[in-house]
Homo-oligomer: A and B are copies of this chain.
Amino acid sequence: MKFGGTSVATVERIRQAARHVKREVDAGNQVSVVVSAMSGKTNELVGWVNESSKLHDAREYDAVVASGEQVTAGLMAIVLGEMGIPSRSFQGWQVPIHTDDAHGAARITEIIPDELNKRMDEGWVPVITGFQGIVPATGRVTTLGRGGSDTSAVAIAAAVHADRCDIYTDVDGVYTTDPRIDPKAKRLDKVAFEEMLEMASLGAKVLMIRSVEMAMAHKVRLVVRSTFDDPNAPQVGPDGSNSGVPGTLVCDEDEIMEKHIVSGVTLAKAEAKITLRDVKDKPGVAAAVFGALADESIVVDMIVQNISEDGSVTDITFTVPDSEYDKSVRVLEAARAAGHVEYARITGSKGGAKVSVVGVGMRNHAGVAASMFKALADKGINIQLITTSEIKTSVLIDDAYAELAVRALHTYYGLDKPGA
């Protein structure tokens, strides 16, 4: 059971979280708990580090920033103890959770689960600091980077062979789309890992991508649910299904009997598009363009390149966040001036919106893209760019039509209906 920053932001909230733990323990389950730092605390610590030095030693950054989880782990163990549940806190080095030495963004290399298993067998609830570990060779504390607590939870679940990894957060599951855009959005009972990955990267920021990747690799079943729900409401059935449970199960595709063609509609706004006209079409041109942007740490999202008519010149279009638009144009003009990239002219604009439909069912259903374009055309929405992957189709449209497009597609694919 993993509790995020908003779930442990105050002692009263830690108590609420602990009631969920008590319910699981009372039901006879063995439980380990993973906690984030109180919301805002990690930012405060990072602020101090940056104030101390712009060029700080990443090992010291980790020593400072890892302290937030230590606080909540201890408090959670105390609150559980008061509820009559034997509990103790573990810092990363006490478990131990081994990582590589990429301080600030370390990767977990091994978790030795013996002590956790022993404690759980004896009826204890270990409370483990998320987000951190230790480099075995140096004995230094590491952090896993932002959102690392989800990754910690999944890794621990894998190491102790947990039946489930429940991620408690401030939303009660994964929705077919953002309920603020379409009030008819429905919570999904189940969603496949692959779908979750696409949704996470498309702006449904419920779970960190890295933790979903790890869960998929180790086949750790995740449940996304809210800390603020009544801890004594009906829960997951013994069959492992979560019907009736206030949450979404993220699991292997095989576990989802009735696959929807489209599981969700996602939206990312403030996307700028940039087109390079008449690019000299020769090997290495794309690498030159996107290499120049990557060197400046500009993250490119959609990329479209058409086959050139006569094989000599082509157009390349891509999107970047609006905030990176001006910088991107400058970078590419400089690259042309330096002779690294050849093109006739550069055009583009800010204020685009990327709308995507995601679903593992697409794999076996032809024509999803075509039906999407038709649904948009019916509303008079012009499509500027199209990209597709195996389980996702995305279009770039004018920002002004973004919400209209999401609602139209949500209805078109039947996601409004009960039981969708």
Chain A residues at the B interface, C-beta cutoff of 8 Å: 11, 14-15, 45, 48-49, 51-53, 55-57, 59-64, 66-68, 70-71, 73-75, 77-79, 81-82, 88-89, 91, 93-94, 139, 141
Contacts and interface: CB of A to CB of B under 8 A. Distances in A.
Contacts of A74: 49, 60-64
Contacts of A70: 63-64, 66-67, 70
Q: Could you say which of A73, A78, A88 has the most chain B C-beta atoms within 10 Å of its C-beta? A: A78
Q: Could you say which of A14, A63, A91, A93 has the most chain B C-beta atoms within 10 Å of its C-beta? A: A63
A9 to B, nearest CB: 11
A-B interface, 4 closest residue pairs, ranked by CB to CB distance from nearest: A64-B74, A63-B74, A53-B82, A67-B67
Nearest to A115: B139
A15 B51 CA distance: 10
A61 B78 contact: yes
A71 B63 CA distance: 7
Given A52-B75, A53-B79, A57-B78, 20 more contacts: A11-B52, A14-B52, A45-B71, A48-B75, A49-B75, A52-B78, A53-B81, A56-B78, A59-B88, A60-B74, A60-B77, A60-B89, A61-B74, A63-B74, A63-B77, A67-B67, A67-B70, A67-B71, A70-B70, A91-B141
B88 A52 contact: no
Count copies of this chain in the complex: 2
A89 B73 contact: no
A139 B66 CA distance: 18
Contacts of A67: 67-68, 70-71
A394 B393 CA distance: 87
A12 B410 CA distance: 53
Given A60-B89, A73-B63, A74-B64, A11 B81 contact: no
A82 B59 contact: no
A64 B53 contact: no
Contacts of A78: 49, 52-53, 56-57, 60-61, 64
A67 B73 CA distance: 11
Contacts of A53: 78-79, 81-82
A82 B51 CA distance: 11
A361 to B, nearest CB: 47
A91 B89 CA distance: 17
